Amino acid sequence: MRRQGFRAVMACGLTAAAGSLAAGIGANSSHTPSGATAPTGRWNGPRRDPHLPPPLADLRSIVAPGWLQAVTGHRPARRKAQAAGVAGIYKYAGAGMFSPAVAGDPQLVYVPNSGEPGMGGGRPSANPDRDTVTVIDPKTFKIVGHFTVGALPQHVTPSWDLKTLWVDASGSNQLVPINPHTAKPGKPVPVSAPYNLYFTPDGSSALAFAERRNRIEVLDPHTMKLRRTVAVPCRGLNHADFSADGTYFLTTCEFSGQLLKYDTKTLRLLDDVRLGRHVVPQDIRLGPDGRTFYAASFARGGLVVVDGATMKAEGFIATGAGTHGIYPSRDGRRLYVSNRNDGSVSVVDPATRKVTSTWTIPGGGSPDMGSVSADGSQLWLSGRNTDQVYVFSTKDGHLLARIRVGANPHGLTYFPQPGRYSVGHTGNYR
C-alpha cells in the first residue's frame, strides 16, 4: 500500500438522515414485468427484516482509522481537484489526476464478450466470438487486441493498486489477470464463480461475488488466494459500493430484490432491506455527497435513492426501461445511467435528483456496462444484445461510434483512469 502523507477527509456521508420515506418515491408495489417502462403512482418503500438490529443511525462519532488517514488525500491533489471543481467523494478522480502506478500504461478499452444476454435480454447471440476480451484503441476506435479468457467473462476490473486488470470468467471459475502495460493476459487464478470483483478501500482484501452461489469470496488482493467464504442471505448477489469512510458497503441482490449492508472489516451483516422482487436491483453507486446511494432498478426503470447511514429509501428517479449501469461524470457532478431496454442513457443531477438529459441511440440499442473516458469527454458502454460497443460524447450525448465486438459484451473498462485507487467493478475510483 502506497503511503504519501495522506490525511482523512471525513465530512461526506457521516451524518445520518432523519425522517421516513419521501412521498412520491416511485411506483406501487405490485409486480411489474422485466423491461416495463417507468411506472407512475406510489411505491410504499422497502420492508426491513424484523430479525435484524436497527440500522446504524448516527456515524458522526466515528474516528478515522489509520488506514483511512493513509488513503484519503494528498494535499497537492486536493488543491488540484478543488481548482478543477470536482465534486465530493470523486474529487480525487478528476481529469488528469492519474496515479503514478499507471505511468506508461496505454489508454485502451477492454471488452469482455460474455456470450450471455443477461436479464431480459432474450436469446444468446449467434456470434461465435465469445469467452474472449476485445481490446480497442479509444483514439481510433479500432480493435488492437483479442484473446481468450474462459467461459462467461462478466467484467474487467482494475485492481486496488491499479497494477492489474482482472477478468471475471465466472463460467470457468477463474480470474484472468491482464498486464495493463502490455495489454496481454496472464495465467488464470482459480476462484469460485466470480461474477463481480471489488476491493476494500484500504486495499487489504478483494471481494469476489459468486452470484450463482450466493456468497462472497474474501481473497488476498494480490494473489487472489481464498481467505474465507461468507454466505449471503439473498439470491443474485450483484453489485456493490462503499461508504465515504470505507467502514461499510451496500450490495444489491438481483433476484430477491434486496439491499444488504455489510461491515467492511468484519463482513458482519448490518442491515437487510427488502425492496421487493419487482425492483430487480442492479448497479449501485455512492453519490458525490458521500451519503446517498443510487441503486439501479431494472424492472422499475430508474434509480432507488437510499441513505446509506439509515438505509431508508428517500425517493425514486425514473430514467428508462431496463436501468442497469451508473457512472459518475469526470467532475463528479452528474450520473450517467444506462437504460438497456430503452436503448438510452439518462443524465441525472444528484443535487436535484432530476434527469437533465436523455441520450437515445439512433435505431435502438442495449447500453449496459462501461466507463467514462479518462478526460471525461466520452462514455463507453457495451451493447449487451447487439454485439457492439457504443461511444457517446458527454458534451451533447450524440453517438460517436458503434464498434463491432464479440457476443453479448458485458462490463467493459476504459483504462487507465484518474484516481488514487480502485474499489472494483469496471473502475470505481476514489
pLDDT of residue 132 exceeding 50, the answer is: yes
* Mean pLDDT of the chain, nearest integer: 84
pLDDT digits (tens, 9 = 90+) for 314-329: 999 999 999 999 999 9
pLDDT of residue 60 exceeding 60, the answer is: no
Burial of 41 (0-12, 13-18, 19+ CB in 10 A): exposed
- What gap in Å lies between CA 154 and CA 159, rounded to an integer? 16
pLDDT of residue 395 exceeding 80, the answer is: yes
Mean of pLDDT values over 340-346: 97
**What whole-number percentage of the chain has pLDDT above 90?**
77
Mean of pLDDT values over 54-68: 33
With cell 465515504, the residue in question is: 244
Kindly report which listed range (13-22, 40-49, 105-114, 253-262) carries the lowest average pLDDT score.
Answer: 13-22
| Angle 136-139-141 from CA coordinates, rounded to 5° | 45
pLDDT band at 190 (very low <50, low <70, confident <90, very high): very high
Backbone dihedral angles phi then psi of residue 370, each to the nearest 5 degrees: 180, -145
| pTM summary value | 0.82
For the residues of 118-155, what is the DSSP string, one character each?
Answer: -TT--SPP--S--SEEEEEETTTTEEEEEEE--S-EEE
For the residues of 239-270, what is the DSSP string, one character each?
Answer: EEEE-TTSSEEEEEETTTTEEEEEETTT--EE
- What gap in Å lies between CA 370 and CA 155, rounded to an integer? 9
What pLDDT is recorded for position 87? 66
What pLDDT is recorded for position 187? 98
The secondary structure of 267-295, three-state, reads: CCEEEEEECCCCCCEEEEEECCCCCEEEE
Kindly report which listed range (25-34, 154-163, 274-283) carries the lowest average pLDDT score.
Answer: 25-34
- What gap in Å lies between CA 48 and CA 312, rounded to an integer? 9
Superfamily designation of domain 47-322: YVTN repeat-like/Quinoprotein amine dehydrogenase (2.130.10.10)
Backbone dihedral angles phi then psi of residue 82, each to the nearest 5 degrees: -65, -40
Mean of pLDDT values over 181-200: 98
Higher pLDDT residue, 166 or 277?
A: 166
Rg (CA), the chain: 20
What pLDDT is recorded for position 76? 46
What pLDDT is recorded for position 86? 59
The total of other beta-carbon atoms located within 10 Å of residue 194's CB is 31
With cell 449487451, the residue in question is: 384
What pLDDT is recorded for position 123? 75
Residues 6+ apart with CB under 8 A from 151: 115, 131, 169, 170, 171, 172
What pLDDT is recorded for position 239? 98
Among the listed residues 355, 345, 412, the one whose alpha carbon sits nearest the alpha carbon of residue 380 = 412
Amino acid letter for position 203 = G
Mean of pLDDT values over 221-235: 97
pLDDT of residue 185 exceeding 80, the answer is: yes
> Is residue 304 within 8 Å of residue 295, measured between CB atoms?
yes
- What gap in Å lies between CA 108 and CA 325, rounded to an integer? 20
Residues 6+ apart with CB under 8 A from 349: 333, 334, 355, 356
pLDDT of residue 33 exceeding 80, the answer is: no
pLDDT band at 119 (very low <50, low <70, confident <90, very high): confident
- What gap in Å lies between CA 111 and CA 425, rounded to an integer? 13
pLDDT of residue 292 exceeding 70, the answer is: yes
Kindly report which listed range (41-45, 168-172, 244-248) carries the lowest average pLDDT score.
Answer: 41-45
What pLDDT is recorded for position 199? 98
Q: Where are the alpha helices (DSSP H) in 48-131?
A: 66-71, 75-84
What pLDDT is recorded for position 276? 87
Kindly report which listed range (51-65, 117-131, 270-284, 399-413) carries the lowest average pLDDT score.
Answer: 51-65
Residues 6+ apart with CB under 8 A from 401: 141, 389, 390, 391
DSSP tag of 195: S
pLDDT of residue 162 exceeding 90, the answer is: yes
pLDDT of residue 367 exceeding 90, the answer is: yes
pLDDT of residue 21 exceeding 90, the answer is: no
